[in-house]
Amino acid sequence: MAQAASLAQLQAEASCPICLDYLQDPVTTDCGHNFCHSCLLQRWEGLQGDFPCPVCLQHCPDRSLRRNTQLCHMVDVVKQLPNMEGEGKQQEEKALCLKHHQVLSLFCEEDLELLCPQCKISSHHGGHLVVPMEPAAACHRRRLKGSIEPLKEQHEVAKKALEMQVSKTFDLMREVQKQRSQESNLHLHGDSDGSSTC
């Protein structure tokens, strides 16, 4: 279980926060966040001057980005890692008790531990509710799913709100730059008109 969680975390770290796919040609901003080179350039399209990081909105002084070759190699390794869902089932079937070298086929509801038949009769688990592993796993999966679904919905709502806010920020920055450009053009035309009348 911990191994699957670690793999999921590693896969998340190897993903671009913009496209949510594995990083391709990864670059690192001054603030330390990593993106696909093409995703970041697309996000910054039309901006001039300071370029905000899509994650933390810290300003990057220019478009010169550092390619992260080490991260690129790490992403290649992560892509080759096996999918833990299918492998996890095989490992559960083969899991043995380290103490008694018997198959772990029972679950102690009180200690939340997998047990072998020998562990069940030990004094440590005496009087505890011990059930077969499969029904216990199904029950805990249902409970976990019931807890995760509302969190997923909240995460999606928060993610969409953040995306909208970042999008509005980029739109506002483009508008400000457009206004500045227009003002600059007006001043240039005003100066040239003023010099011709002298």
Q: What's the pLDDT score for residue 198? A: 47
* Confidence tier at 194 by pLDDT (50, 70, 90): low
CATH 3.30.565.10 fits 1-94, yes or no: no
Task: Please write the tens of the pLDDT for every residue from 46-91.
Answer: 887 778 888 888 888 777 787 888 888 889 888 887 665 544 444 4
**Rounded average pLDDT over 96-119:** 87
Q: What are the structural domain ranges in the chain?
A: 1-94
* pLDDT number for residue 37: 92
pLDDT for residue 52: 87
d(CA 118, CA 137): 20
Question: What is the spatial distance between Cα 150 and Cα 144, in angstroms, rounded to a whole number?
Answer: 11
pLDDT of residue 87: 47
Q: Give me the percent of the chain exceeding a pLDDT of 70.
A: 86
pLDDT at 34 over 80: yes
Decide if pLDDT at 123 tops 80: no
- pLDDT above 80: residue 197: no
DSSP string, 21-70: SB-SSEEE-TTS-EEEHHHHHHHTTT--S-EE-TTT-PEESSS--EE-HH
pLDDT, position 192: 60
The reported pLDDT for the residue numbered 2 is 62
Given a cut of 60, whether residue 33 has pLDDT beyond it is yes
State mean pLDDT over 154-176.
89
Nearest to 21 by CA among 75, 64, 59: 75
Q: Are 40 and 31 in contact (CB under 8 A)?
A: no
The span from the CA of 168 to the CA of 25, in Å, is: 27
Query: Which residue shows structure tokens 């300071």?
Result: 50
* 52 in Cβ contact with 62 (< 8 Å): no
Q: What is the pTM of this model?
A: 0.43
pLDDT grade for 45, boundaries at 50, 70 and 90: confident
Mean pLDDT value across residues 166-181: 89
Average pLDDT of the chain to the nearest whole number: 82
* Window from 42-46, 83-87, 108-112 with minimum mean pLDDT: 83-87
